[in-house]
Amino acid sequence: MNYNFKLITLTLFLLFSIQNVRAQKCDVLERWTRVVSEEFPNIDYNKTNSKFRQRIIFNLFSDEYFIPYFKKPYDMVGDIMSQTMWKRFNKCDNETTITWQAESSFLNSTFFNYYKLKKTVIEGRKLIEEFTVMKKEILNGDISKIDVDNYLNQINKKFNILFPSKIEPLIKILETEIEKRKVNSINQNYDNLLNELNDVFKLAELENFKSKNASLVSKLNSTQKNNLHQLIWDRQSLLANREIEPIYQSQKNKKYSEYSDLKIIDAESSKFFKTYIDYGLGIEFFEKTITLFKKQHLELLILNENEILKRINKSRTKEQFEYIKSEYLEFEHKAKYIYYDHFDDTLDKRRCLEFEERLLKEISKRKKELGIRE
């Protein structure tokens, strides 16, 4: 009786010990693979691709994650030990829950390819060494002088197989430095633009400044853009007034009297308008010069009214009458500035309308004489 009791006790102890050892071994596997769920907490592991699974294998079997649980690098465990690990993993898969949701099949198959995985581990060790060197250069070097774009490109292409916790902190450091350099570059460009603008003394130079620097201006922040646009506008107004004032003074001294002068003043006013219309809004001497041209043009029309009336009386066809109206009463096809119904001076506006009325009356009269319908 005593013997049976001891046998039962020993059997239970052995069973308990075996179970305990098995549980401990499974616990090792569980803790070894736990890092996966920590690195990828929001991943549906049932929908991962081969590239993602290869990333997990690469890191789990690397020295950093493998040695703490199995006491030696994977490339030193040997093929037999690798298969033993597979058996253990396969049993544990039925007895414990691996914290990450992926099925263990791709890990199981990995154990069967010991030599292939061994090669991956050895090559990966070199890659990790390169990454470690680069990491030290980034963290210990002068960040303002390193080639951040080159490092970032390497991380995103060469080292992107490493776990996120390894590469994301470095990516953040590099991206922060890139943004800092971008801001510094923008600020420097802004200062350079201001200095260059101060050296602009002609409207043609200002146009060249705007076209040449359009790309740089587009990269400024909104405050800098607004400030620069205002400074350009102020500079433009200053230069426009400075260039137009002599034209205005010269135009004031010009005298027109002959009928042939109508074409001359048309050409002069059209050239002026086309040259300065883009700068004209709110420019004092632009407005003054336009008003002066309109007054001179009106005076010349009235002064040569008899000559125009003669041309009306010599006309014989509807087309000839339309040409006269177009030439002396309708100015849309000429310089756009000649809108006499927009005369600021009430007297000039009235004189213009009276001139127009007289010509239209004479045209109507002549048409009736010739039997031409309106």
Confidence tier at 105 by pLDDT (50, 70, 90): low
Confidence check: pLDDT of 65 > 60? yes
Q: Taking residues 328-355, report their average pLDDT.
A: 66
Return phi, psi of residue 185, to 5°. Answer: -65, -40
Residue 344: CB partners within 8 Å, gap ≥ 6? 291
For position 142, what pLDDT does the model report? 87
**Residue found under tokens 């570059």:** 185
Mean pLDDT lowest among 43-47, 118-122, 213-217, 320-324:
43-47
Tokens describing residue 155: 């991380």
Q: Taking residues 37-41, report their average pLDDT.
A: 90
Please work out, in degrees rounded to the nearest 5, the angle formed at the alpha carbon of residue 260 by the alpha carbons of 254 and 264: 50
Confidence tier at 270 by pLDDT (50, 70, 90): confident
Alpha carbon 200 to its chain centroid, in Å, reads 28
For position 374, what pLDDT does the model report? 72
Distance CA 54, CA 95 (A): 25
Q: What is the mean pLDDT of the chain?
A: 83
For position 22, what pLDDT does the model report? 46
Instruction: Round the CA-based radius of gyration of the chain to a whole number and report it.
Output: 45
**Is residue 90 helix, strand or coil?**
helix
Q: Taking residues 229-251, report their average pLDDT.
A: 94
Of 329 and 23, the one with more pLDDT: 329
SS (H, E, C) 157-225: HCCCCCCHHHHHHHHHHHHHHHHHHHHHHHHHHHHHHHHHHHCCCCHHHHHHHHHHCHHHHHCCCHHHH
Q: Taking residues 26-38, report their average pLDDT.
A: 84
Please work out, in degrees rounded to the nearest 5, the angle formed at the alpha carbon of residue 130 by the alpha carbons of 127 and 133: 155
Residue 273: CB partners within 8 Å, gap ≥ 6? 290, 335, 336, 337
pTM above 0.85?
Answer: no
For position 109, what pLDDT does the model report? 61
Specify the amino acid at residue 206: L
**Is residue 373 helix, strand or coil?**
coil
